[in-house]
């Protein structure tokens, strides 16, 4: 179906996130509407999991690649994990020069093509056509990765949207966009620190808003840290789950000195989809060989069972539930079961906060950097606005209340405020 040249242009904000993506429309009167997506847990959701599942079907005697995104991608993958490629955390690779393409059903596919495929499906789900949209897209202050090339990340993000069919694309820093949402609450000029916590990155922005001057805004300072909620999940897995799967075991070769089991087997536990890449006879046989002389062989057999039976998603859900509970309770139960293994551990908030202490320190450094870059002291910050699911973690909130005072810190629209701000804002060119 094609639109006539007289069809109105749709103003759209897209928060393409590491974990979740959000679409918000702006109407002619300046109001906004969030597109809703199918959810695996009941009612429709304002967020779509940034997941892309690809598989092949026979159509007219020829193989045709099918796709699904979000909750439907998880269903497709779990239906046939052996034949389905599940792509996630695509945003995390944008600034990594080492990742250019992957092999998919015998063809080389670039990262930009994978992202554009997800974006087209996202627009289809929202009954929108990219070519009829004037879109503002969020980007992190610092892309995730130890050797992240921010210029490369932005260039590939733009290229991905162009390949998806968007002709009118502007980019805006994600915390700045969240600040535009918060600015709707202001009735007088204010200097606002925005903390935007995603799955892979945490970004901070100091903005000056003046609602008395036609929404005038000035960006004063930025900082970004390449960690967020996913890292907190990893801390729980490392400290609670991995020992049950043999990480602390030793083994021997021909009766020699005890050796630690290969640590790389446990690097994939916090990214449940990566466990599927270990579901090969070679890796499973390697684990079984080590188990024969291991100090606790049954624990390594638990790892084999987890990989072979594709239980990673269930484990990921259990860990995420524990983390969310610890945002409101002093302790939480982590419960996970599979054949031969029952994990029922009580995790205290005190222990959790000790595990994430190095991460909290990095986040604090990012906050201080943004304020310093703005040339301000903490007492010159009038308001603090936090967005993103990780902002619920008490230790994260304490970073702000200890610096700026409880009365200045606000939360709201934790999952949609960036996309809403992108739809509302009139973006200015990003500084180099």
CA distance linking residue 43 with residue 29, whole number of Å: 28
Q: Which range in 101-105, 140-144, 304-308 is most confidently predicted, on average pLDDT?
A: 304-308
Query: When comparing pLDDT for 7 and 115, which is higher?
Result: 115
Of the pLDDT bands very low, low, confident and very high (cuts 50, 70, 90), residue 185 is confident
Q: Which of 243, 279, 271, 322 is nearest to 87 (CA)?
A: 271
Q: Percentage of the chain surpassing pLDDT 90?
A: 60
CA distance linking residue 58 with residue 50, whole number of Å: 26
CA distance to 136, 137, 194, per residue, from 14 (Å)? 6, 5, 18
Q: Residue 142: inside a domain, yes or no?
A: yes
Of the pLDDT bands very low, low, confident and very high (cuts 50, 70, 90), residue 386 is very high
Is the confidence at residue 391, as pLDDT, over 60?
Answer: yes
pLDDT of residue 427: 55
Of the pLDDT bands very low, low, confident and very high (cuts 50, 70, 90), residue 80 is confident
Of the pLDDT bands very low, low, confident and very high (cuts 50, 70, 90), residue 236 is very high
Of the pLDDT bands very low, low, confident and very high (cuts 50, 70, 90), residue 4 is very low
Is the confidence at residue 277, as pLDDT, over 80?
Answer: no
Q: Residue 161: inside a domain, yes or no?
A: yes
Q: Residue 157: inside a domain, yes or no?
A: yes
Of the pLDDT bands very low, low, confident and very high (cuts 50, 70, 90), residue 215 is low
Is the confidence at residue 1, as pLDDT, over 70?
Answer: no
Averaged pLDDT score across all residues of the chain:
89
Q: How many Cα atoms occupy the beta-carbon half-sphere of 109 within 13 Å?
A: 18
Query: When comparing pLDDT for 272 and 82, which is higher?
Result: 82
CA distance linking residue 31 with residue 431, whole number of Å: 28
pLDDT of residue 107: 87
pLDDT of residue 42: 67
Q: Residue 421: inside a domain, yes or no?
A: no
pLDDT of residue 273: 59
pLDDT of residue 380: 96
Q: Which of 205, 170, 126, 116 is nearest to 388 (CA)?
A: 205
pLDDT of residue 429: 46
Range of the domain at 147: 10-173
> Which of 124-128, 213-217, 250-254 shows the lowest mean pLDDT across its residues?
213-217
Q: Residue 135: inside a domain, yes or no?
A: yes
> Which of 53-67, 114-128, 167-181, 417-431 shows the lowest mean pLDDT across its residues?
417-431
pLDDT of residue 88: 82
Place of tokens 């390697």: 286
Q: Residue 359: inside a domain, yes or no?
A: no
Of the pLDDT bands very low, low, confident and very high (cuts 50, 70, 90), residue 86 is confident
Q: Which of 77, 37, 71 is nearest to 53 (CA)?
A: 77
> Which of 84-88, 281-285, 399-403, 418-422 shows the lowest mean pLDDT across its residues?
84-88
CATH number at residue 19: 3.30.420.40
Structurally, the chain folds into a number of domains equal to: 1
Q: Residue 41: inside a domain, yes or no?
A: yes
Mean pLDDT to the nearest integer, 15-19: 90
Query: When comparing pLDDT for 215 and 14, which is higher?
Result: 14
CA distance to 169, 238, 286, 401, per residue, from 130 (Å)? 10, 42, 47, 41
Contacts of residue 379, defined as CB under 8 A and 6 or more positions apart, other chains included, come to none
> Which of 82-96, 161-175, 358-372 shows the lowest mean pLDDT across its residues?
82-96
Is the confidence at residue 7, as pLDDT, over 80?
Answer: no
Give the chain's end-to-end CA distance (angstroms, integer).
Answer: 40
8 A C-beta contact, residue 75 and residue 66:
no
Is the confidence at residue 430, as pLDDT, over 60?
Answer: no
Q: Residue 72: inside a domain, yes or no?
A: yes
């Amino acid at each position: 179906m094609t639109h006539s040249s007289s069809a109105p242009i749709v103003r759209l904000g897209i928060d393409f996130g590491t974990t979740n993506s959000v679409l918000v429309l702006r109407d002619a009167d300046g109001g906004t509407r969030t597109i809703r997506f199918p959810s695996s847990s009941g009612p429709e959701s304002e967020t779509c999991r940034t997941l892309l599942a690809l598989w092949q079907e026979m159509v007219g005697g020829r193989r045709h690649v099918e796709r699904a995104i979000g909750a439907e991608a998880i269903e497709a993958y779990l239906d046939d994990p052996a034949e389905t490629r599940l792509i996630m955390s695509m945003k995390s690779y944008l600034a990594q020069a080492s990742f250019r393409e992957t092999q998919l059903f015998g063809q080389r596919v670039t990262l930009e093509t994978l992202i554009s495929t997800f974006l087209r499906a996202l627009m289809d789900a929202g009954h929108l056509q990219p070519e009829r949209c004037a879109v503002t897209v969020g980007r992190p202050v610092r892309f995730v990765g130890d050797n992240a090339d921010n210029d490369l990340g932005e260039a590939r993000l733009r290229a991905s949207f162009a390949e998806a069919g968007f002709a009118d694309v502007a980019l805006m820093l994600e915390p700045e966009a969240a600040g535009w949402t918060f600015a709707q609450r202001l009735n007088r000029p204010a200097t606002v620190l925005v903390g935007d916590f995603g799955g892979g990155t945490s970004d901070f922005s100091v903005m000056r808003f003046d609602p008395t001057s036609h929404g005038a805004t000035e960006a004063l300072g930025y900082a970004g840290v390449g960690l967020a909620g996913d890292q907190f999940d990893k801390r729980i897995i490392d400290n609670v789950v991995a020992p049950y799967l043999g990480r602390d075991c030793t083994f021997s070769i021909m009766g020699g000195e005890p050796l630690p089991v290969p640590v790389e087997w446990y690097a994939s536990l916090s990214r449940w989809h990566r466990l599927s890449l270990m579901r090969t006879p070679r890796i499973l046989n390697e684990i079984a060989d080590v188990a024969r002389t291991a100090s606790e062989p049954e624990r390594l057999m638990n790892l084999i069972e987890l990989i072979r039976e594709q239980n990673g998603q269930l484990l990921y859900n259990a860990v995420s539930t524990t983390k969310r509970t610890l945002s409101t309770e002093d302790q939480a139960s982590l419960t996970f079961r599979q054949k031969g293994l029952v994990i029922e551990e009580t995790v205290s908030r005190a222990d959790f906060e000790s595990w994430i202490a190095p991460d909290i320190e990095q986040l604090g450094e990012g906050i201080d950097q943004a304020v310093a870059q703005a040339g301000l002291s903490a007492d010159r910050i009038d308001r603090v606005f936090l967005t993103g699911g990780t902002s619920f973690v008490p230790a994260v909130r304490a970073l702000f209340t200890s610096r700026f005072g409880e009365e200045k810190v606000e939360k709201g629209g934790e999952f949609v405020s960036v996309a809403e701000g992108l739809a509302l804002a009139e973006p200015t060119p990003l500084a180099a």
